[in-house]
Amino acid sequence: MIPKDKSDSEAVARLKAASEERVAPLVPTLLEWLQDINWPVARPIAEVLREHPTELVEPIRAVLNGDDDIWKFWVLAEVVLPGEGELRLALESEVLRIVNHPTPGEVDEEVHLIARDVLFVVVYNDHG
């Protein structure tokens, strides 16, 4: 279920058909495929990940507290923003930190801008 390479659509098909119990332990590894959204498997994996918001919180928190700013951008744009409200609410403090105190790298990669969009949805939709 974990792609062998960036074009391994067969692994993604197996992943889409898998049960939540089988996908949950793979979440941290699957998130790594979002480091480059141009890989053919990246967006389909993001779609699968959005279906598992509870398992995503800690692995995404680790990404947002890390130093790979491009990865942060894609995780926010492809998983958190279009994902479940409970996921956005669980990551609200990390998103708020990025909006209010972005690192120079987060500014360079416009992570603070996508974080602002996430925060907007949190404030206007999720706290509603």
State the average pLDDT over residues 36-50: 96
- Residue positions counted in the chain: 128
What is the DSSP-derived secondary structure letter of residue 71? H
Q: With b meaning 16 or more CB within 10 Å and e meaning fewer, what string describes 38-60?
A: ebebbebbbebbbebbebbbebb
Which CATH number is 9-126 given? 1.25.40.750
The predicted pLDDT at position 94 comes to 97
Per-chain mean pLDDT for the chain: 95
pTM: 0.94
d(CA 4, CA 60): 22
The amino acid at residue 28 is P
Q: What are the residue boundaries of the structural domains of the chain, listed by start?
A: 9-126
Chain segment 55-113, per-residue pLDDT in tens: 999 999 999 999 999 999 999 999 999 999 999 999 999 999 999 999 999 999 999 99
Angle of helix 92-100 relative to helix 53-64, nearest 10 degrees? 30
Whether the Cβ atoms of residue 78 and residue 42 lie closer than 8 Å to each other: yes
CB 111 within 8 A of CB 69: yes
pLDDT at 128 over 80: no
